[in-house]
Structure 1
């Protein structure tokens, strides 16, 4: 028994995620190792001397489960002429309206909950829940010294019925970096970032049956589902999971905001622009002991979650992000 199952067995009844079914990662550790290996092959006839190891940190869940892989060492060489190598882009943190001394988020969240309007999917129905998301940061490839990071952005479309069946289509996008230093490092060590030979074909995966229970609008049930007893960091993650899995009706969206309003630690950041260029309102939670900040961006009219991000605080840089580009009901299986 290895990985997540072993960890859950050791934690037993104190595991806060013991009743949660964990979906497989969008990109496996094996995939990233293969991509790094493809880069090594692209160097051609240069001899590569093993002087540095690269560690693959597979995101928050995988790290908790002890899943860490070591990549084949690479020599620090000039590989700028590698054909098809992709430089990628540097991620910039979202700019907050209230950057310093933000007020407590409770009053603003309650006001938002009381004024929600319908979104387009509130007046539609269909066999499948449809979600279109973009994700970066799980897993992340990290240098041996822990300083330099890179991950591939992935765009995913999911059609899922009430019994869990459906299809998931994932497209690998460009590599992205949390800072310029990481970008420069990976350009030196893996050519111009991890090798990407054009745009990989979309990967289509059929989804197996699973128990899916849409979130209730009952406040006490929502508090339990969102793990409110474990604090704002846990709540942020669960809100992101719910909106990425279900088509959430207006009444439930309002109650989610009210639950957040009652959880200590959320700060109001005001109007922001997400990574898809949409205007929303944001709340954050600073987890100082773990040098981390959670960011949630909501539509100011409908209360839909637009994005969830995780940042480090010193220095401030992106650890992961999820952008929910579209949510809907449909009878069409993509």
Structure 2
């Protein structure tokens, strides 16, 4: 029997301030979400212990933001859910970002993870790579898409890394590629990353 709360744990970093991360600061984020879309979120600055106080955020019932309540196990339906998430237009980079956000908020079962694999297989404009190791030292198979970046003249590459045995998402990294002035050589810099460290169900939730 599943526990009352869906518990997730991630490590996040971004070069800029975003709704998910503080620019240049690595955080470990844990969330406990109930079926009524209430949630408790704990953010700890790394390395721990840190002089920065933990950030605690609580969501009243019905207020925790979800693109959709339950991911479908049917590829054609899940693809539609991902395409509509956040009013995004269908495109390879948008699918990757929507998949990343889905794994942030849901523990996917075998059928749902298989549907993700089928969607990636059927999506044009993706690059599939061999074995890659993430920042936690975990090996997986990678898929990426490159799109125009917020920085003029640059491109942003989204890379998702999956566990080849289970289909679980291990990490999502964005790499910014910008042309050097007067040169055709592109300089690459990490723009953001998320490590997916845990996803389970529990009856225990911190009170503070």
Normalization by structure 2: what TM-score? 0.80
State the 4+ residue runs in structure 1 displaced beyond 4 angstroms.
none
Deviation of 1:284 (Å)? 1.1
1:204 aligns with 2:56: yes
- Mapping 1:1-334, distance limit 5 Å: 125-137=2-14, 139-140=16-17, 151-173=24-46, 198-210=50-62, 213-227=69-83, 230-287=90-147, 291-313=155-177, 314-334=186-206
Distance apart, 1:317 and its partner CA: 1.3
Between 1:165-174 and 1:321-330, the stretch displaced more is: 165-174
Q: Which has the higher helix share?
A: 1
C-alpha RMSD of matched pairs (Å): 2.2
Larger strand percent: 2
Structure 1 segments unaligned to the other structure (5+ residues): 1-123, 142-149, 175-196
Scaled by the length of structure 1, what TM-score is found?
A: 0.51
In structure 2, stretches of 5+ residues that fail to align are 178-185
Q: Is the 8 A contact 1:166 1:333 kept in 2?
A: no
Partners of 1:173 and 1:199 within 8 A in 2? no
Point out the structure with max Rg over C-alpha: 1
Q: Secondary structure at the match of 2:24?
A: strand
Report the Cα distance in structure 2 between the residues aligned to 1:140 and 1:203, rounded to whole angstroms. Answer: 15
Number of the residue aligned with 2:180: none
Paired residue total: 181
Take 1:140 and 1:331, find their aligned partners in 2: how far apart are those partners? Answer: 33
Q: Distance in 1 between matches of 2:60 and 2:134?
A: 32
